[in-house]
Structure 1
């Protein structure tokens, strides 16, 4: 089958948002620059990508709102077909905010995560729908450290069960607030129009995300790789999307809104190990039950996780 062609934008080589966060954090300066990653998929990443059964993607919808969601399939559903192309034999679930987003070429951030071994790879690039699959043209491909990744294993699959009817709202329900308050992991999608989209992971002990209201969240920003790709995007464009998984039952909770970094040291003191906090304002919520057929079991929290919030 012929693959769709892509119109590749001329991305700026330096990311002003990343540099601004680095400077504010005292970890960079005018000569620090942005991390440079190649567009080609390293040969060593090929077996890892082909073994995946779940991918996390982030992109904007037609209104420009950012969302994060998952794609699932049997091992081999994600196939690198050349050094800059990944074909994914899956689409977001019916009713997912990103279900029809890729009818036209769109920026995408992809996270290939293997909770069994706490390994992850990030891919940033362009995507377009081709029938019932996504074709992704890679622009940045790189590995990440295993910090704050919990160890989980697949215990069973519920193949053949259709995703539930999407539940949408502007506010988080009481049950959804409890879900978030007990989470040890979430995923965040961000985008700078000049630099593309990104999909990343945040983890900690249950309670590391604080629900401060029906439309307000807060979480700590711990020591990371100092690239500040997510925070750099948020500095330039606060619009972002969060994804919380119910790992045991395959439900997804997607939240879109705006995120801003607070440098107030008093707020950071409430979170052991935090360098700063991120405050998120909810614009819209989508919950879909049984989105994923994968059933996961928690085996171990990351040894890097600080204690949860003291508030």
Structure 2
């Protein structure tokens, strides 16, 4: 087992990311790539991209240090970039959303712009500048593109004015209820927030997409979620954060009903387990133990329709938990 004790120096990657890149044998190559693709500003292509979006994925950290992921929706144009170092969000406060508590002036935030009907996406992290309750600006620290793998194609429609809140109450759960388990079991997509406090004291929050065949996230009898980690861009933003800080926030969306399931808890990276080999496409695993669970029926004003041939080819190449060994949980190395 390694320890993430590498000095960051001038690397764009932090110690956790570097440690996992080393285990994958790509640290030297990723050092060069990182210098090139991680920018402190938005390029014109991404400045044009964000105003097209009807929703944004956000990751934040509340006052207790818990990470939360969320989806917030509004009419396209609510995201706009007045200059290359800034992304503005015209979003009112939402006290029903646990992620909102971490979106104060000066708070670190992670953002993922993703267009499900084209598979385009862009990630950024930065710091909030808030001047009221009707929106805020994000000062960009890092911005970078992501590949389109594992994204299922969906078209969106609005079912109500996005300024109108649902009248359905949020449910605060002590454990996953039947409906929550159904949402996870049927999910081919979810989003995960994580964060680290870097050597200089600056907090860096990330939120990212995860996709696979429906049911690729397993719910254990103890409520722990197990997630296969498939081949990707080798940045290891999320898992690298987990190496240094286990705090994580997950959000699952029911794209047909507009319901959100938000969980915050702790994650562990599993590099060595028989289940990795038995789950086709997995290169490693991670496990998530939820500590707080909020289910929000009707939270989103959007609904999505799955394309007729909407499956990502990369998702279809992955396995299922039915083929994984049920008895392999005890033989594993965790980070």
TM value normalised by structure 1: 0.91
Cα offset, 1:135, TM superposition: 1.3
RMSD between superposed Cα atoms in Å? 2.0
Moved more, 120-129 or 215-224: 120-129
Which of 165, 175, 178 is residue 162 of structure 1 equivalent to?
165
The change in CA–CA distance for 1:26 and 1:180 in structure 2 (over 3 A counts) is: same
> Matched residues in 2 for 1:129 and 1:111: separation?
19
Q: Is the 8 A contact 1:93 1:291 kept in 2?
A: no
> SS at 2:103's partner residue?
helix
Q: Is the counterpart of residue 276 in structure 1 residue 276 in structure 2?
A: no
In structure 2, the partner of 1:308 is 320
> Matched residues in 2 for 1:243 and 1:249: separation?
15
Gaps of 5+ in 2: 1-8, 325-335
Q: Deviations over 1:19-64 (max 9, x none)?
A: 1111122332599478231111101112211111100000101100
Q: Is the 8 A contact 1:177 1:214 kept in 2?
A: no
Which of 171, 186, 191 is residue 187 of structure 1 equivalent to?
191
List aligned pairs for 1:224-243, cutoff 5 A: 224-243=232-251
The change in CA–CA distance for 1:171 and 1:307 in structure 2 (over 3 A counts) is: same
Cα offset, 1:12, TM superposition: 7.3
> Matched residues in 1 for 2:16 and 2:241: separation?
6
In structure 1, the partner of 2:266 is 258
List aligned pairs for 1:26-37, cutoff 5 A: 26-28=25-27, 32=31, 35-36=34-35, 37=38
TM value normalised by structure 2: 0.85
In structure 2, the partner of 1:6 is none
The change in CA–CA distance for 1:128 and 1:12 in structure 2 (over 3 A counts) is: farther
> Matched residues in 1 for 2:131 and 2:75: separation?
19
The change in CA–CA distance for 1:33 and 1:258 in structure 2 (over 3 A counts) is: farther
Q: Is the 8 A contact 1:190 1:230 kept in 2?
A: yes
**Larger helix proportion, structure 1 or 2?**
2
The change in CA–CA distance for 1:101 and 1:272 in structure 2 (over 3 A counts) is: same
In structure 2, the partner of 1:7 is none
| Greater than 3 Å deviation, 4+ residue runs | 10-14, 29-34
Q: Is the 8 A contact 1:69 1:92 kept in 2?
A: no
> Matched residues in 2 for 1:248 and 1:263: separation?
35
> Matched residues in 1 for 2:30 and 2:94: separation?
44
